[in-house]
Amino acid sequence: MSKEYAAIIGLNPSKGARSPKLWNSAFSLLNSSTKMVCIDIEKEEEVARIIKNLENDCLFIGGCIAFPYKETIFKILDFEMIDKVSQPIGAVNCLYRSNDNRLRGTNTDGFAALKSFLNLVKEKDTFPKSILIGGLGGAGKAVASYFSSYFVPKGSEVVCSSRKDNSIFCESINLKWIPWQNIEKGLHNFDTFINCTTVGTGKLINQAPVKISANSNLKFIYDIIYDPSQTELLNLAKKNKITSTNGLEMNLLQAARAFKLASNVNLSENEIVEMMSS
């Protein structure tokens, strides 16, 4: 490859990842020959070698990281090459070049999820008081960290649930953790549920992470999945007249921030969002 390029790295981003369309639309409007390509990695043990090759390739400007390697690549990068806001999260979803041409890592998921969710809340002029976040993978930890920093100081309760014990991580960001097997019976205590699991996409496309009953106390459901745009969880929200949204806006916002970092373009994130949306 003789031209500069960006990449999305994951298990199989070539099978439908949205980022290449967004990034390449922006590159095109900037009259840049740079393109984003997909790098599918089937085996986790191959990730370190590929990241090293990309860092040594002067044509690689950076890009984004998809499921399931956000935590893996966090561990591969030198800790000092991860920005401070992302260090407690333990996962990165964006790579870009430092001033000395090394690969740096950051996480734009949490910022984008919070901004998208606040847009949803503003529409209803209602402030959530009790939030349950389901799933603490790479994206889930970013969401938990940003939601904690925003909502806890405002008096809202934020609780996380996952299949493996993440109590230590939750304590580090001042949140409570509950086991996944307790999520169903505890759901009635919350007015907001945020799905950060992969239940609702891929092989689990016909499933919902939780059951929503007709007498639910939920006012908001936020599913960070964007493919499909209408998940089974969102179908349940619609059926029970619960205000909800998917991860499309989050995906766009995180892509715009990552694009700005990797391309080093002198544009605001709002200007990049407009280009990616055109």
Per-residue pLDDT of 202-223, as tens digits, reads 999 999 999 998 889 999 999 9
Question: Is CATH 3.50.50.60 correct for 110-246?
Answer: no
What are the sequence ranges of the domains in the chain? 5-107+252-277, 110-246
| CATH of span 5-107+252-277 | 3.40.50.10860
pLDDT, greater one: 278 or 102:
102
Q: Between the CA of residue 257 and those of 63, 67, 178, 264, what are the distances in Å?
A: 11, 18, 32, 10
Q: Give pLDDT, residue 138.
A: 83
- Percent of the chain surpassing pLDDT 70: 99
Q: Is the predicted pLDDT of residue 115 greater than 70, yes or no?
A: yes
Note whether 5-107+252-277 and 110-246 share their fold: yes
User: What's the pTM?
Assistant: 0.87
Would you say 193 and 217 are in contact if contact means Cβ atoms under 8 Å apart? no
Alpha-carbon span 59 to 144, nearest angstrom: 34
